[in-house]
Structure 1
Amino acid sequence: MDNVFINKDTFKGAYILSLSHLFNKKIENATLYEKYATLAALVNKQLRTNYELTNEYVVKHNMKKTIYFSMEFLMGRLITSNLMNAGYAQVVKEAFDDFGFDLNEIEHAESDAGLGNGGLGRLAACFLDSAASLSLPLYGNSIRYKKGFFVQRFENDQQKEYPDAWLNKPFYWEERKEDEAIQIPYFGYVKDIKLIDPVWVKAVPYDVKVVGADNNVVTHLRLWSTEKSEWQTYQDNEYLEMVDKISESLYPDDSTEQGKVLRLQQQYLFSAAGIKSAILEHKKLGRDVRDLHKFYTFQVNDTHPTLIIPELMRILMDEENLGYDEAWNIVTQSVAYTNHTILAEALEKWNIKIFRSLLPRIYEIIQEMNRRFKIVLEENQVPVEKVYQMQLIGANNVRMANICIYASFSVNGVAALHTEILKNIELNDFYNLYPDKFNNKTNGITHRRWLIHINPELTSLINNLIGTEWQKDLSLIKKLVAFKDDQKVLDQVKAMKLSKKRQLIQKIYEDTNVRLDENAIFDIQIKRLHEYKRQLLNALNIIHTYLRLKKDPVFKKNFHPQNFIFGAKAAPSYIMAKGIIELINKMSKVINNDVETNHLLKVVFVENYNVTYAEYLFPAADLSEQISTASKEASGTGNMKFMLNGAITIGTMDGANVEIVAEAGIENAVIFGMSAEEVTRRYKENGYKPRKIYDEDVRLQEIFEFIRNLTPNKTHFDFILQNLLTSDYFFVMADFASYVEAQENANKLYQDQKSWWKMSLMNIANAGFFSSDRTIQQYNDDIWHLDYIKL
């Protein structure tokens, strides 16, 4: 097919024709959605050529692939990255200027694909982009959720969840592959390794194209959708409802047994279907199943896809008739595991009763793996009490992380500090047994979306200063260091930031009716709402600042106006997190409506934070809130997006903050709080007394009093306050004084404008290390060993 994007006039002709063909409309009568749909259909059709060429190349050269299994892929709007990476954006913009269309407005007609929730999904999306842009044969594997995480609305200041039915409109980037459907069995019972009377569900793949930047490589993300199976003889309403539920929504509520079964069904679905389709492809290409590990690496992103391990064993033994040892040899050379959590309580475990009932044959295989692993532990003289902690099956649960570590040839953390904590504390027993498996791969972000797309103002500033080569290799951005004392350049950085603030001010005003001050410090905390991320610490300081502005004229006179902006969703059943959202919303109303101080202090919690909202927030930030309890955040990637767009980190030495400070210099960040070592020591000593801190700090007493007066019922927020006074597991009270001081320092720093914009430029200039291209290159060099697609 000829390239309709070859120049402006060819594209305009094709666009007019396509609009007429799809919607029977002329340019002047088309709705915004019809304009978008026509563009998406044309782009997707054009990409098919490169997609087919990529596939042909991979097959012809008998290339090894990596299949990246992840429960989430938070892709954002694909029209944006596809136009940019394919190199069509300029032609389309010029044509649309002729038509009198605004390309930005048309791009916004696409819904965010509801395939993820937070950092895990956004990272996976960056990895797909980077791998395709580096010309590597890496393919994503997940579930085609009919509904996204949820749409968040605030009602009476509380989070309410509504279905995110993002697939109600056609998703132009996907292609249904009915002929590659896989039959998935649940329940039943095992007799002589055969599964008898299972309930069959059909998994149908939809492939979504992933476009490499300027290299014609197009790979895919495979999403599995559930449908009724023709193998299932008895199909009543209960069966049809079950089938529908499996691919209905991301992270269904698992507070009930039914919810737990559903989550396990989801995990088995995309694990088993992904593995089976790889084996079918491998055999179709005439290759021996014994060579599977030479042609595939299965990367397990967090523990959700753990079941690929016993499922691969099952297929190799039960269907391919290999012995256990031979099958195990293949599995342990083809599976690699990425750990994303330090919180021991967050390491996934499944109740044996639920597991055995849903997946009887898989459970048998894990039992046998466990039996053999215990022999390995005994042979290595692991003490008895540690054997119990390490085995794959506990007294009443199946331990997913333990299975991953035992079966994988590589176990990686996602930031230098995180990996050290895994090796020395959380997974130390496994590290002692398998030191060679453990390695670090610090996370990264794709600068194509998180700078070039969302911040054209900064992009053109960098291009003017150092040329455009950095767009291909982000490490070259370091050349900006040469301008750190150039006042003219620093003024341009400030002007860029002001223009991004104005765009955000407009969006927030339209959404919330709150008008922010463009001259204020924009202090932003956007991430999932979780106690360890400590949005609550941020809130306590804001209240303290407000109360101080009310009664301390000297402080008020010297205080630079500050806007505090939050964006976060809380899991629907996470009561504490939802309470913190309500608290921030309630306090913001008091603060924003106080005429004595609201010219100096405003607080906004944006509703339904998602990738599209993030694209406004990251470039507008002056201060990047990265205030998790040290040792709790595995890495973070929001911290990198802020840094790349010139925000200064105010944070603890946690996750990738440690490396951000190492790259940019501690003088270009505002660091506070306990270190990871101190936090670990205090847990061990078990002598933490938050009540004592409260009793000795009058500021905290005043804050608590303010919170109690936010609602007519003074005990409304007592569950939050009591938690702080009694357990305070994440050391909010312990770090409070240090954080208040850090915030005061940041406010003073901003008032020295020359120093501030120099710090900002130094953050941008030193963000090159945090490119996901670098991360993926390291995964490939150390773990996958894939060859490059050369088109």
Structure 2
Amino acid sequence: MKNKIQKENKIEEAAAEQVKNNILVEDARTGLSVDALKRAISNNLFYVQGKYPEIATRNDYFMAISYAVRDRMLQRWTSSVRQYISGKNKIVSYLSAEYLLGPHLANNLINLDIYSQMEQAVKELGFSLDWLIDKEVEPGLGNGGLGRLAACYMDSLASLEVPAIGYGIRYQFGIFEQAISDGWQVEDTDNWLRRGNPWEIARREISYDVKLGGHVQRYIDEKGKLINNWIPGWVVKGVAYDTPILGYKVNTANTLRLWKSEAPRTFDFQSFNAGEYSNAVNQKIICENISKVLYPNDEQIEGKKLRLQQQYFFVSCSLQDMINIHLRSGDKIENFYEKFVVQLNDTHPSIGIAEMMRLLLDVHRMEWDDAWKVTTKTFAYTNHTLLPEALETWDLELFASVLPRHLDIIYEINKRFLVDVTLKFFGNHQKIDSLSLIGEGRRKYIKMANLASVGSFAINGVASLHTELLKKTVLKDWYEFSPEKFSNKTNGVTPRRWMVLSNPQLTKLITSKIGDTWIKHLEELKGLEKYAEDPEFQQAWMEVKLEQKKKLTRKIHGTLGMIVNPESLFDIQVKRIHEYKRQHLNVLHIITLYNRIKRNPDIDIVPRTFIFAGKSAPGYRKAKLIIKLINAVGKVVNNDPDVKDRLKVVFYPNYNVTNAQKIYPAADLSEQISTAGKEASGTGNMKLSLNGALTVGTLDGANVEIRECVGEENFFLFGLTADEVEKTKSEGYRPWEYYKNNKYLREVIDQINDGYFSQLDQLIFKELTDSLLYDDQFMVLADYQSYVEIQDKIDEAFRDKSNWARMSILNTARMGKFSSDRSIREYCNEIWKVESVPVELIDPSKTS
């Protein structure tokens, strides 16, 4: 009996030990404790990186930590994918040419809710988490607001537990890294993948062939049906690379699926044996070029062709993938739109309308009317521009050389569509020409916004003013033809990255007063309003702001060697460099302030630090001149002893998400000064205001709604309205008259022209000043005086520290509307008709 009991005790002890070991094994992959994280980092360093501590580099530790975090995301990711595919839920497919994600590590730690645990684990291993986070190179997958919006929306889709897949291109190189040399922008290669990417998983088993070029062979089959057989000139293979996008404190992890282009056959053995070594890999090089660079320069015809190939490549792969997922689930192709809704993020993916028709007609042998029904119930289109020249078009001959089958389909869509147009607008040839998918200029061209509009069941703008102007201007005839398609979905930003991650001190202060649920329900920031008049809270608020400004001053000094005063007013304009965004209007004001000091060196002036950042498109000459002008003026102002450091001009190079996270929290003043009626929405304006910056701006884009929310008294408004801009132009705008009649403006322009800021070189900025004086399309001179006057009022306001703090608090408190969570809820409820699907975690030990 005694032996039996001893034996049973040993069995129980062994079982307990096995359970303990299983828990340890599980903890190594999924545990969230400090000890589990330390063990995971050590294991990854040894088993994944193949290093031991004595020889491990900083990058080795970064990779080891990243893999530890990714492991903890994989259970959520696989659980989400399984639930979406096996369930009857609808899936949102977001098609975007760019995703400006920013670094992953810190954001994933926040969404997993293990930031403090990881910080402690790394500390106990002898390192600083911040030191390792700074090692991460951000993905070169986006450029500006379009890509950043896509990233915010992916974050919100996951945080709201909405089934979604983001589709795009896995660019090997980003748009470029920007350096400044002698004041000029210099572009260098953005080789963001050079040290590897721990967040992605290559899915080499998921690949699709994409045809390009060639011709269409037509014949009648044995059933008497016309067959269109596309004989391609060449074929490229798209290989899937997946990145999990984790929601905030939920089990949902959605997929960002990016396509890498490869040759179906990467090596020609016969050519190599014949001594033709270059020819042996020629096809590989040609195919890989498609996913090589984000936005290749399209000044030349080959660049334009490559852009079209890029757009079609990722759209074709994505639609083939969706159809494959749908059919593997046991569903029929006829009800594809019940499983997927596809959102076109601007016109870049609008070739998807024609590609969907091709796949349904040529591959799945559907009849035209049935295929058109599926297509038009699948797609929705977001327009992001009011600039007519930004509505994408393709030269018909170029298009035909790349996509001959799609040209046939577009012609057929157009023919059938124009029958309806003619019936509705009979005899109105202007409207018929406007709505046609084919433009009849000197050379025929295809209008991609029209293709997106005719093939989508919904069309939306991205700010209230933008949507109203769409209806009145660039899409006016479309609105008259299909008003039921139109709605507004004002952009938003994710508070996880743009507050919790980038401004932890302010997050902590806010949470100490109203709790932390505002992070997923941004409207709860309204609770801060009652503290706006509280002197103690005002002081704490401004102390946080000052600390952020000090951090930025250290970064500026480390990057540029420049010392700036953190007590000065930080006047921030950070965004893509473009004439309509009017960075040069800001510069005219800086020179005006400088001239005041030169006239009276003892003048009492509010010290200001002007901080610019942004990239110009490589081929955009005037935008590059604006960058040069900013730096030229800065060189004079920053080194003039009369200024006595009361003005400083900083151009912070290589603006990206990483740098934006340092700049936004430090801003006192947000410059949103685009010409009214030109900016679709903007999201930088939201991020800056959310972080407590006060806005100086025109009634343009989302500025209108921000001003309505924060209060007119807390927004510095200037300039012509959109209607006044159009009226001024129609009455014959003469910028020269503004120059002639305003002595201070005349003085500024003359200084630039006379070479005061360019070592007496009178030609360097002539192209820029001539455009202002004789062809001022963006009303810079018309708005100059109003801008200078409002800036003087800003000086007065900044002197009243208590009132400035009150306005800053209210700006943050009233930004609840501008969460990307709100935007996505509106898309889900009003366009996509998609519901949240909470994810149940799969136990890895119980899966077969």
TM-score bracket relative to the smaller structure? over 0.9
Task: Give the one of 364, 367, 391 matched to 2:408.
Answer: 364
Report the counterpart of residue 621 of structure 2 in structure 1. Answer: 575
Task: Give the one of 405, 409, 430 matched to 1:385.
Answer: 430
The C-alpha deviation readout for 1:103-146, integer Å capped at 9, x for no partner, is 11111111010000000000000000000000001111000000
Report the counterpart of residue 231 of structure 2 in structure 1. Answer: 196
The answer to whether 1:208 aligns with 2:267 is: no
Amino acid of the structure 1 residue aligned with 2:603: K
The answer to whether 1:662 aligns with 2:688 is: no
The answer to whether 1:709 aligns with 2:752 is: no
Instruction: Report how far residue 702 of structure 1 moved.
Output: 1.4
Q: More displaced, 666-675 or 4-13?
A: 4-13
Distance 1:462 1:26 in 2: 42
After superposition, where does 1:70-149 map in structure 2 within 5 Å? Answer: 70-149=96-175
Task: Give the one of 684, 688, 693 matched to 1:638.
Answer: 684
Distance 1:238 1:721 in 2: 47
The 1:28/1:757 distance shift into structure 2, 3 A limit, reads farther
Task: Give the one of 444, 467, 491 matched to 2:492.
Answer: 444
The C-alpha deviation readout for 1:54-75, integer Å capped at 9, x for no partner, is 1111123222111100011000
Report the counterpart of residue 627 of structure 1 in structure 2. Answer: 673
The C-alpha deviation readout for 1:64-102, integer Å capped at 9, x for no partner, is 111100011000001111111112212101212223321
Distance 2:85 2:618 in 1: 44
Report the counterpart of residue 178 of structure 2 in structure 1. Answer: 152
The answer to whether 1:401 aligns with 2:449 is: yes
Distance 2:338 2:730 in 1: 45
Report the counterpart of residue 473 of structure 2 in structure 1. Answer: 425
Distance 1:467 1:775 in 2: 23
Report the counterpart of residue 334 of structure 2 in structure 1. Answer: 290
Distance 2:199 2:756 in 1: 51
Task: Give the one of 257, 262, 281 matched to 1:222.
Answer: 257
Amino acid of the structure 2 residue aligned with 1:205: A
Secondary structure at the residue paired with 2:48? Answer: helix
Amino acid of the structure 1 residue aligned with 2:511: N
The answer to whether 1:171 aligns with 2:197 is: yes
Give the alignment's TM-score, normalised by structure 2: 0.91
The 1:5/1:585 distance shift into structure 2, 3 A limit, reads farther
Distance 1:48 1:334 in 2: 30
Task: Give the one of 184, 207, 211 matched to 1:185.
Answer: 211
Distance 1:456 1:279 in 2: 43
Say whether the 8 Å CA contact 1:70–1:300 is kept in structure 2.
Answer: yes
After superposition, where does 1:485-500 map in structure 2 within 5 Å? Answer: 485-500=533-548
Report the counterpart of residue 653 of structure 2 in structure 1. Answer: 607
Secondary structure at the residue paired with 2:739? Answer: helix
Report the counterpart of residue 71 of structure 2 in structure 1. Answer: 45
Instruction: Report how far residue 204 of structure 1 moved.
Output: 0.5
Distance 2:631 2:648 in 1: 12
The C-alpha deviation readout for 1:501-551, integer Å capped at 9, x for no partner, is 000000000011111101100000000001000001001110111111111
Say whether the 8 Å CA contact 2:267–2:284 is kept in structure 1.
Answer: no
Task: Give the one of 462, 466, 476 matched to 1:414.
Answer: 462
Distance 2:178 2:172 in 1: 17
Instruction: Report how far residue 241 of structure 1 moved.
Output: 2.8
Task: Give the one of 522, 543, 546 matched to 1:474.
Answer: 522
Gap runs ≥5 in structure 1: none
Task: Give the one of 328, 347, 351 matched to 2:391.
Answer: 347
Secondary structure at the residue paired with 1:167? Answer: coil
Task: Give the one of 684, 688, 691 matched to 2:736.
Answer: 691
- The structure with the larger Rg is 2
Distance 1:379 1:263 in 2: 36
Say whether the 8 Å CA contact 2:545–2:666 is kept in structure 1.
Answer: yes
Secondary structure at the residue paired with 2:473? Answer: helix
Q: More displaced, 540-549 or 53-62?
A: 53-62
Secondary structure at the residue paired with 1:168? Answer: coil
Distance 1:4 1:335 in 2: 38
Secondary structure at the residue paired with 2:477? Answer: helix
Secondary structure at the residue paired with 1:190? Answer: strand
Instruction: Report how far residue 28 of structure 1 moved.
Output: 6.0
Say whether the 8 Å CA contact 2:610–2:650 is kept in structure 1.
Answer: yes
Distance 1:205 1:20 in 2: 28
Report the counterpart of residue 33 of structure 1 in structure 2. Answer: 59
Instruction: Report how far residue 482 of structure 1 moved.
Output: 0.7
After superposition, where does 1:299-378 map in structure 2 within 5 Å? Answer: 299-378=343-422
Distance 2:366 2:50 in 1: 58
Distance 1:608 1:162 in 2: 10
Say whether the 8 Å CA contact 1:200–1:232 is kept in structure 2.
Answer: no
Q: More displaced, 290-299 or 467-476?
A: 467-476
The C-alpha deviation readout for 1:744-790, integer Å capped at 9, x for no partner, is 11111000111101000000000111000000000000111222221
Instruction: Report how far residue 44 of structure 1 moved.
Output: 1.2
Instruction: Report how far residue 456 of structure 1 moved.
Output: 0.9
Percent identity of the aligned residues?
A: 40
Amino acid of the structure 2 residue aligned with 1:640: M
The 1:195/1:231 distance shift into structure 2, 3 A limit, reads farther
Secondary structure at the residue paired with 1:200? Answer: strand
Distance 2:49 2:214 in 1: 49
Distance 1:284 1:23 in 2: 37
Q: More displaced, 469-478 or 262-271?
A: 469-478
Distance 1:520 1:457 in 2: 20
After superposition, where does 1:542-621 map in structure 2 within 5 Å? Answer: 542-552=590-600, 557-621=603-667
Give the alignment's TM-score, normalised by structure 1: 0.98
Secondary structure at the residue paired with 1:569? Answer: coil
Distance 2:49 2:75 in 1: 24
